[in-house]
Structure 1
Amino acid sequence: MTKILLNKVFVGEYLDKNIGHEAVCLFKADNGEHYIYVTPYGEVSKTNELKENDYILLVRSGIQKKFLEVIGYATGLECICSKEFLKCKSNNKNDKIEAQKEWIKNVNIRYGGALLTEILESKNTKKSDGTEYKKTAFYTSFRAKKVKLAKEKIYITRDEKYITRDKEEKEKDGEYENICYIPYTFTRNTQYLYDGLLLGKNKDKVKLEKLIKVIENDKFWDDNIKKIYLKAEDFECLVKNENLSFMKIIGKQNDELAFSNWISYWLDEDRELLAKFCQNFTNTEIDKENTRIFREYENIDIYIKDDKNAIVIENKIKSGINSIKQDEETNELTSQLDKYYGVAKEKDNEGKEREVKCILLLPNHHNIVKEYATEISEKIYKTSKDIEYKILTYADIYGFFKKYFENNKSKTDFEEAMRKEFLKALEPHTKPYQNELYETAMYRLVKKIINLNKQH
């Protein structure tokens, strides 16, 4: 029976300071071999040890909570973290790791000329009491005969929408050829899948037939995995181009308040920009001279208004829709979005109605974006009272600001620097998934190899 290990990569606090050991899964070693690391510590239990024809899927958090994205797979597996393979008589984990370090040195496993154990040497981690310790982990878990990376989007989901129950649904399944339904309860790092295993709230039987069919379909995969063979000076370009922004440095990359402040600044500072923004995204012609912009007015993130119009912008990065309440008598649901519309429509206009447009500003990796982008062509979020919020993505505003900045020169060098930093900060949120940990791991891997090569 085929066994599949879902290996969740590029997650966890360890990556805050260290290179994720899983980074090397995406490259061939200098000796032409493939090595796979199983998170979090490289160990594989004897009861779940994989055989040669089993599969390891490299997965990361997907576009929604119910999805995992498959980024690669490995098969033709040989376990190299076991006691038997390392010929280590001790059951002590530290002894086994030292034995693996010696084995790696003898086999000469290198990436870009640097020894694997030196690349992945971890920094000390602090406990809650402030004391430091070094996490004990193997350096690699498996040697694999075949590794391929996804060239098409492939997802595993527990969303029951993607179950094929009968003949008609199977014919429709072509629409979701790249989405495999598995009723899993996914753990933090790894999950083993077996045919017939009972999983999920409905105790559904896991059927791996479709997932294996996707794995065996060459159209989804790229087997042209490269070695890291470039010279150090070539790597320097990659390091210099790493998208490090001021917001990342101060730890505000996911701060809704900070982004709302910055967006409001540009709109308030340049009235021509403000007019184009309102026209472009809400088809509203505002009075440029008399329009006012507020931050956190009645808790509205960005509030734009003149005598005839009002625009409500609710900015969400990691959070969802808040303050959802149900009326005890009518059972009617309301949320913060209903309240903001009411404020703009009448409360803030002495009871007189005005034209109100509402925007829900979201990163492209936000759950709501994916949900509404797949259901309808016009991306509109409707509240329980049928109030329409236009879904505006960070990619939308990134493109808008970038084009405006290119067509309108900065007045000062400082303003030009501010513009560049603003676009750098927006850019990570324009992607369909949060990719920061992956990009950081690649950056650190390259940088470490450069430094090691310079030392030797």
Structure 2
Amino acid sequence: MGKILLNVMYAGDYLKEENNVGHEVINMFKTDSGENYIYVNPYGFLADEHYGQIDTVLLTRRINANKWEILAKATDWEYALKPDDILNKKENQEILNKILKKEIHKFSFCNQVFDEENKTIFEENKEIANEEKQKKKLRYRAMAHKLIHDEQVKEIESKGITYGGKYIYEILNKNQNNNYATYFTFKAKTFRESKEPIYILADGTIEEKNSNKRNEYFLSGVNLPKQSFKIYFPINTIKKKDEQEEEYTNRKKAQKKAYEKLQEIINNENLWKEENTSKKIDDKLKEVNRENKNFLQIIKKEEDELVFSNLLAHFFANKKGLFNEFVKEVLSKKAKKAILLKGELNVFREKENIDLWFEDDDNIIIIENKIKSKINGRIEKEMFINDKEYGQTIEEGKNEIKKSDNEIFNERLNSQLKKYFNIVDNIKCRKAKNFFLLTPNYNDIELVKYDEGNSYIKLYYEDVYNFFKNQLQDQVEYQKDLYMVDFTKAMKKHASPYNHDMYEEMERRFVKCIEQV
């Protein structure tokens, strides 16, 4: 079995610049002739030893530092331009040798290629940079990239590699540092997108201990790179300095198992769409033209949890019977006991700083809404005496306590969740009290980390979105309320298990660039 390459897309500061389009955007599109070309981040080419050795490239994006999502797999390399093959051509070797022999001293493009690298070399190592050897190295690398770039442009034109009738080098022409860029790594004969989200997680994550979610795979003994855009499997395991032989052996075994786990994912046909469903640009343009923006998109408030809380309060307060149905269909099914509403419903916004407060004769229902903001709080230290005979627990607050063999420390977040819980819990009444934390599906907050976190029930935007969508389908009067229709559309993005922002933004920029060529 050959190598597997995990490659991260839609990441890095480069994409934060408004005019830059990540070259990897082509990975999820067909060319106008229906072919799939793949760009491997970060530079579009691989070390020479990897060409011909890789069976599958798994295209991924980072959910967080320890969790990646697999979007698609590209297999059966049909065609690739190896940089070494280009540079080893006789005419190119002659050019590069002239640089080494100092027959070529200056190139107008040298300061445009690897601009950031040049800055680092010349600003931090001025003495080295002034040496002819270092200047020669920069000239050599700049020329090498120009030769690779020129060869790719020839291939793009001769093979007619176009998107929306435009060559890829025309489309990406306005990118920063685009001079002599690489535009593709290889052509894939087989390309399949995942049927539903597939996740890989680094060893030792909290999710590994607590999750029973579908399609989550744990790579024991492997740390996912925090900065690098790619990682190869099987990993070339090198013994660390001072590492014991047993530790080294165990690490090798674990990494071998990780490779086998990835093979299991690749070979499981149930995880992948049966056909190549990537779109051509013309199809994407039709799709974009059919899309009607909701009003929150227009005013750029899709991420504003205050707006979403205001709208939820508005609809539940003004649509008679809507909240009763919401409690029956959603909240009661999540609560430990069924919630039975009685009497007049009162809806409050920001009462005691709580996002949503619902109250009737028998119930107080709290919903704290978090889209992108974090749960505010501070860390407090607790010490637990591990005594088998007495089993007692002593809270010492922030006091510094010496740790001994029978003491176990735990850090807990004294958060706003605890504050809100205490406010409601201290109300002297016989009303049932239920606490919910509403979050997007892609923002899976770990309640166990927070004091009184276990008193809250997780409520996802998917739950709310599906409820509103069903209400719109069943109630003709709701369909006439365009604000409600648009609000439901706006919730859809937060009902996804991952944040589409950068993915959708790159597609938007790509389409825009094609239209402007």
TM range (shorter): 0.7 to 0.9
**Is 1:305 matched with 2:344?**
no
Q: Structure 1, residues 296-354: CA drift from partner, whole Å, max 9, x if none?
A: x33312122345431111112234543254365615744322221221122xx4x4453
- Displacement, 1:18? 4.8
C-alpha distance 315-135 of structure 1, shift in aligned 2 (>3 A): farther
- Displacement, 1:177? 8.0
> Given that residues 27 and 225 in structure 1 are in contact (C-alpha distance below 8 angstroms), is that contact kept between their aligned partners in structure 2?
no
Following the alignment from structure 1 to structure 2, what is the Cα–Cα distance between the partners of residues 219 and 409? 38
**Is 1:398 matched with 2:494?**
no
State percent identity of aligned pairs. 31
> Given that residues 22 and 506 in structure 2 are in contact (C-alpha distance below 8 angstroms), is that contact kept between their aligned partners in structure 1?
yes
- Displacement, 1:259? 1.7
> Given that residues 243 and 424 in structure 1 are in contact (C-alpha distance below 8 angstroms), is that contact kept between their aligned partners in structure 2?
no
Q: Any idea what SS the aligned residue of 2:184 has?
A: coil
**Is 1:114 matched with 2:170?**
no
**Is 1:330 matched with 2:374?**
no
Among 416, 422, 435, which residue is 2:500 paired with? Answer: 435
Structure 1: runs of 5 or more not aligned: 125-132, 165-174, 373-380
- After TM superposition, the score normalised by the length of structure 1 is 0.75
Q: Any idea what SS the aligned residue of 1:356 has?
A: strand
When structure 1 is superposed on structure 2, of 88-97 and 354-363 the one drifting more is 88-97
Q: Structure 1, residues 138-190: CA drift from partner, whole Å, max 9, x if none?
A: 211223344333336533221448999xxxxxxxxxx9886251512323422
> Given that residues 81 and 142 in structure 1 are in contact (C-alpha distance below 8 angstroms), is that contact kept between their aligned partners in structure 2?
no
Matches within 5 A, 1:148-297: 148-151=192-195, 153-160=197-204, 179-182=217-220, 183-188=222-227, 189-197=229-237, 204-205=251-252, 206-207=255-256, 208-222=259-273, 224-225=275-276, 232=282, 236-242=285-291, 244-280=293-329, 281-282=331-332, 283-288=339-344, 291-295=346-350, 297=351
Question: Structure 1: which amino acid aligns with 2:355?
Answer: D
- Displacement, 1:360? 1.1
C-alpha distance 227-293 of structure 1, shift in aligned 2 (>3 A): closer
Match of 1:26 in 2: 28
Q: Any idea what SS the aligned residue of 2:173 has?
A: coil
**Is 1:339 matched with 2:419?**
yes
Following the alignment from structure 2 to structure 1, what is the Cα–Cα distance between the partners of residues 353 and 181? 47
Q: Structure 1, residues 265-318: CA drift from partner, whole Å, max 9, x if none?
A: 2223335323433444242414336x24122x3331212234543111111223
- After TM superposition, the score normalised by the length of structure 2 is 0.67
Q: Any idea what SS the aligned residue of 1:365 has?
A: coil
Question: Structure 2: which amino acid aligns with 1:60?
Answer: R
Q: Any idea what SS the aligned residue of 1:396 has?
A: helix
C-alpha distance 244-81 of structure 1, shift in aligned 2 (>3 A): farther
> Given that residues 172 and 178 in structure 2 are in contact (C-alpha distance below 8 angstroms), is that contact kept between their aligned partners in structure 1?
no
> Given that residues 472 and 485 in structure 2 are in contact (C-alpha distance below 8 angstroms), is that contact kept between their aligned partners in structure 1?
no
Following the alignment from structure 1 to structure 2, what is the Cα–Cα distance between the partners of residues 66 and 338? 28
Following the alignment from structure 1 to structure 2, what is the Cα–Cα distance between the partners of residues 227 and 272? 43
Question: Structure 1: which amino acid aligns with 2:184?
Answer: T
Match of 1:425 in 2: 490
Match of 1:130 in 2: none
Match of 1:359 in 2: 436
Following the alignment from structure 1 to structure 2, what is the Cα–Cα distance between the partners of residues 266 and 162? 37
Following the alignment from structure 1 to structure 2, what is the Cα–Cα distance between the partners of residues 176 and 285? 34
C-alpha distance 275-331 of structure 1, shift in aligned 2 (>3 A): farther
Answer with 1 or 2: which has the greater Rg.
2
Structure 2: runs of 5 or more not aligned: 97-140, 333-338, 383-393, 398-411
Among 36, 42, 45, which residue is 2:44 paired with? Answer: 42
Question: Structure 2: which amino acid aligns with 1:142?
Answer: F
- Displacement, 1:7? 0.8
